[in-house]
Structure 1
Amino acid sequence: MTTPATIGGKIFLIFYGLIGCAGTILFFNLFLERLITVIAYVMKSCHERQLRRKGVLPHNGRRGSGSSEVDSLAGWKPSVYYVMLILCVASLIISCCASAMYTPIEGWSYFDSLYFCFVAFSTIGFGDLVSSQNIRYESQGLYRFGNFVFILMGVCCIYSLFNVISIVIKQSINWILKKFACKCCHRCQRRLFRSRRNVVMPGNVRSRRNISIETDVVNESDTDGRRLSGEMISMKDFLASNKVSLAIMQKQLSETANGYPRQMSSNLKQNGFSGGVGALAIMNNRLAETSVDR
């Protein structure tokens, strides 16, 4: 197996590996993207063929331009499970064909050849089994070319399969988090609201959150456009939670407009509503009462 032996060769390998591995990952991602595009094109073509057989679409339909063709495929993205099934079948077929080549040439058993294919295609590379290490082979050039083609195709399929499996795992974790959401979130939310001082609280607060490993931002659709922190509330919630305050404010305004008797000011002070007329005065009184009570 070829490895760098000098310090210069090892330094070159480090910088070359950075660019080479990045380019290889880009190549694999483009391979997966083109595969999804081909699957979408096949699905759309099959659907249009069925419509033509039923007489819904004309048989001499013209193909659009490149950009319109890509836009027309936007609604035909295949399911992630469908792509995973196709990649599994492709990886299995490539591994079986490559094992059929390795078994007679390298002298391995068929199971060892399958094991080598998975280790090599997944870029694990334990090194216990390495192909093309003998001194001489029959049709050595053809064998090395076939080895290169099988490894390239196998790595593309396995790497794409790993990407799709990671998406499935992420979706599964999100589903589990939604099913087994923390039941104490509602209690924790109430404690958070109670710990805040001088904050106007909404009447009905929905504490169910859309928990996801992708983001920890609360889904606005689950809270009807309102934030759970209490910073933004609707006018309906404000009126529902401050009915008493609004009633007292209306009473004060009405009595002041009609000529409020001065002899009742002492009783008003005892009731704790002195200090002016209007919403600002009532809010100041409420804040003062809250600070005194606490």
Structure 2
Amino acid sequence: MPGTSASFGMTTPQTVPGKVMVIIYGFLGCSGAFLFFNLFLERIITFLAFVLRSIHEIELRRKGQYPKQRRDSQASLDDHLDSWKPSVYWVMLYLFLTSILLAVCASTLYAPMEEWSYFEAIYFCFVAFATIGFGDYVTSQRSTYQNVEFYRLANFLFLVCGSCIMYSFFNVTTIVIKQFLNCIIKKLDCNCKCRKKTKGKNRQNVQRGRRNAITLGQMRHSRKSASVPECDDLDSTYDSDDDRRNSDELISMQEFMKSNKVSLAVMQKQLHESAIRGQQALLASLRVSENEDEIKPGTVGPLAIASRKLEGDLI
């Protein structure tokens, strides 16, 4: 909210005990007022969600998409409607219209009673409903009023209802602003990723252009190929091994280990990877259980109350 004010500034404590009482009363009073505003926010959004859901059901019936006889389809539709949430833009529009209507009605009362112009009365309604409280315009300051009891009661009701409606409207507008900022951040992130991809492609093209150049790896490969024995020597070794294996002699343990060296390495690698995956899954489950009890932005407060009832991802 823009600000909070215990009063409009026309009455202030002058003694030390009075100032101490203002501190104690202000702490308890502001805490209770915020609790009342949050409860009102939850109730007004629940009411608007119920109204918008009824309008959604009427729209489905008008289009012929609302089933009448089949129980399974009726149950599925009820589940869909239970999970359905109204759009935050419609709720913001209704709260804005309600605040305008309340300010117009209150200004109709304030203008003749306080001898203000209609614009001054509208200005006072916004400053009072938003709890800014500049103190340049204050009600009930004259000594005599016509029907003073009725006027003070109406003034109290207008201030309480207007503050609650404006508080709800500000919180829903906060959700819209947050969605707008998230959209801008996503677009900027996409532009940065596209630029990184184009830079990576340019680097790949530069590296592919040096395909015909002589590198250090090619020189080493040529040295290794020069140290390989001739084909006749290789054939002779293979023949000697084949003759030995074709005979009825037993294979030594060293040859057995050489033949199974690759399979053992693969098995060791798979066991190592499975152990790492198990540890990662255990750590992930522990982190999830810890994060469930952690208080994050958007999980408490008026923003969480509004985001649970309205459509849109805000975290």
Map 1:243-262; keep pairs closer than 5 Å: 257=258
Displacement after TM superposition at 1:32 (Å): 1.5
Deviations 1:84-137 (A, max 9, x none): 101100000010111111111101000011001000110111111111111111
Alpha carbons of structure 1 residues 80 and 254: separation in structure 2 relative to 1, 3 Å: farther
Which whole-Å CA distance do the structure 2 matches of 1:49 and 1:169 have between them? 31
Identity %: 51
Report if aligned partners of 2:53, 2:86 keep a CA contact under 8 Å in 1: no
Deviations 1:149-177 (A, max 9, x none): 11111111111111111111111111100
Which whole-Å CA distance do the structure 2 matches of 1:173 and 1:35 have between them? 26
Q: Which residue of 2 aligns with 1:162?
A: 170
- Structure 1 gaps of 5+ residues are 59-70, 188-252, 261-276, 280-294
Answer yes or no: is 1:130 the counterpart of 2:131.
no
Alpha carbons of structure 1 residues 258 and 149: separation in structure 2 relative to 1, 3 Å: closer
Which whole-Å CA distance do the structure 2 matches of 1:26 and 1:107 have between them? 35
Match among 38, 45, 69 for residue 29 of structure 1: 38
Which whole-Å CA distance do the structure 2 matches of 1:174 and 1:136 have between them? 54
Which whole-Å CA distance do the structure 1 matches of 2:174 and 2:260 have between them? 74
Q: Which residue of 1 aligns with 2:16?
A: 7
Q: Which residue of 2 aligns with 1:173?
A: 181
Q: Which residue of 2 aligns with 1:38?
A: 47
Displacement after TM superposition at 1:52 (Å): 6.7
Displacement after TM superposition at 1:51 (Å): 6.2
Displacement after TM superposition at 1:4 (Å): 1.9
Which whole-Å CA distance do the structure 1 matches of 2:141 and 2:119 have between them? 19
Higher helix share: 2
Displacement after TM superposition at 1:79 (Å): 1.3
Alpha carbons of structure 1 residues 79 and 259: separation in structure 2 relative to 1, 3 Å: closer
Which whole-Å CA distance do the structure 2 matches of 1:116 and 1:142 have between them? 19
Report if aligned partners of 1:36, 1:77 keep a CA contact under 8 Å in 2: no
Q: Which residue of 2 aligns with 1:197?
A: none
Answer yes or no: is 1:57 the counterpart of 2:63.
no
CA RMSD of aligned residues (A): 3.7
Q: Which residue of 1 aligns with 2:152?
A: 144
Which whole-Å CA distance do the structure 2 matches of 1:121 and 1:147 have between them? 12
Report if aligned partners of 1:40, 1:76 keep a CA contact under 8 Å in 2: no
Report if aligned partners of 2:106, 2:125 keep a CA contact under 8 Å in 1: yes
- Structure 2 gaps of 5+ residues are 1-9, 70-78, 197-253, 267-315
**Equivalent residue letter for 2:135:** G
**Equivalent residue letter for 2:258:** A
Alpha carbons of structure 1 residues 179 and 116: separation in structure 2 relative to 1, 3 Å: same
Q: Which residue of 2 aligns with 1:250?
A: none
Q: Hey, which bits of structure 1, 4+ residues long, moved more than 4 A?
A: 47-55, 71-74, 184-187, 253-256
Which whole-Å CA distance do the structure 2 matches of 1:110 and 1:43 have between them? 33
TM (normalized to structure 2)?
A: 0.53
Alpha carbons of structure 1 residues 116 and 4: separation in structure 2 relative to 1, 3 Å: same
Larger radius of gyration: 2
Q: What count of residue pairs does the alignment treat as equivalent?
A: 192
Alpha carbons of structure 1 residues 4 and 257: separation in structure 2 relative to 1, 3 Å: same
Which whole-Å CA distance do the structure 2 matches of 1:91 and 1:34 have between them? 16
Which whole-Å CA distance do the structure 1 matches of 2:158 and 2:31 have between them? 21
- Find the residue that maps to 1:129 and give its secondary structure: coil
